[in-house]
Structure 1
């Protein structure tokens, strides 16, 4: 599969480009970025071509991987799909419902495949745990915490990017929490509450179609000693927790690329496709509306 890379930022440089270039089933055919000089530097580093014209890249490849801010991703992903490219997308797919719907519509009309890189879903231990809990059922409530210190004083995180500063933890790590909870507890019937905490911290309460409720605690301004992710689910089978351990982003993205190749070959939608990404955006948008409205 000939694949192009859109983006030249930290994630593209640290993970996407090395993984795509090393993948035995992929040919990294080119790089496009909003800064041509950065695209050329990244392309040269991995022995491929830099494109100044993104549509020319779409015409030369079978698929594209996107490592761009979500508002930029949505428009380019729809264009790529319309050009016949399969999509390996980052989360969130978009920061507006309209943007997410445009991606899904383009994917459906073009008949291409899509996979959204929700990192946890492509870690084998986590994926197995999610499937096991979904099969058990009888869950009563859950609590998911995704706490990071990207924006604390003294942090030199390469992920302290403008879009994360603008949109905050809800939109950056909220998709990770939802990607774990939705397959286990069912879709969200409604967002019942959303409240701010310290810094960009938010607490979101969800009512799920399976009858359970869940609480998300999300932050990019947590103290370093408190950083980490965890999910605990409580129900008739007792309490179970998402397996802990370091997430190998390289291995996870490799599996996401494998999933895209499989979906493109057999035509069957992947559980983490653009439609699932749209549903995540819809839920986050409902939570954002409650936050913007303030206490009632």
Structure 2
């Protein structure tokens, strides 16, 4: 099987700490180059991993079989659509976009081009958590669930802002950690049939979800929780009792698994469960929640 040549769009902290090392070190792919809005940052990241810095993003697309994205969602969506039109398979970050129109345009581009897509929802690719999701989905009989993700990136008492960015600060926990919550709840409880949203303290958003099959769930999403109150809990309750999401070891190994998924899809493995269309569904749900809060 030929090694997939994957370009990288983005040069920020996530690109430098997770995307580029995983792509450069993966035995099944080749890091085909880097493009970023800051040429000096692209040059430095490319030099670190012995690849090419491209001054023009379309030249990167033309030189690669696939492209990984580590840029804000509403920068990602139109660039990824261009990459798909150039015949590139897509390794996307979540959320794929923060507008339904942008996400739909991206999905349409992938379908017109017939390219594979994988969206990096971390918990769906980290070994321990992805195995847990698959196990709970196979068991069934769940009555309710909850996904509480209290981050402290922008905590009043001084959170960890190492991976801060303007889009996270502006859109808050709903759009940053909300996709993670939905990526775990939906495959176990079914698609969301209705959502009710309410604003809490800071950027905190509370969701009440109904799922196909009749189960319900809740989600609490924040990037402004006090440092000592931060944490992640996913809990399911059903006929067999209670199940808690296990811990995981960070994004590195998970991203390598996402690369595996894209390679398989690029070589005819069929659509991935976390493809661009699933990314669109997540955007639709979060956009409805955001609209409800705006109307309140």
Same topology, TM > 0.5: yes
Give the gaps of 5 or more residues in structure 1. Answer: none
TM-score w.r.t. structure 1 length?
0.97
Alignment of 1:156-171 (within 5 A): 156-171=160-175
Q: 2:222, 2:5 → 1: CA distance?
A: 37
User: Matches of 2:78 and 2:241 in 1, distance apart?
Assistant: 44
SS at match of 1:50: coil
Match of 1:263 in 2: 265
Structure 2 CA distance for aligned equivalents of residues 249 and 23 of structure 1:
14
Per-residue CA shift, 1:91-149, capped at 9, x if unaligned? 00000001101111111110100000000000122112111111221211111111110
1:281 equivalent in structure 2: 283
Normalized against structure 2, the TM-score is what? 0.97
The one-character-per-residue Cα deviations of 1:170-210 (angstroms, maximum 9, x if unpaired) are 0000000000000000000011x211111111101011012
Q: Distance in 2 between matches of 1:168 and 1:195?
A: 14
Secondary structure of the 2:41 match is: helix
**Which of these residues, 49, 52, 55, is aligned with residue 52 of structure 1?**
55
Structure 1 residue runs of 4 or more that deviate by more than 6 Å after TM superposition: none
Aligned partner (choices 78, 92, 95) of residue 95 of structure 2:
92
- Specify which of 189, 192, 204 is matched with residue 185 of structure 1: 189
Stretch deviating more after TM superposition (264-273 or 77-86): 264-273
Deviation of 1:156 (Å): 4.5
Size of the alignment, in residue pairs?
A: 292
Contact 1:194 1:287 in 2 (8 A): yes
8 Å contact from structure 1 (residues 62, 84) kept in 2 = yes
Deviation for aligned residue 1:15: 0.7
1:235: how far off?
Answer: 1.3
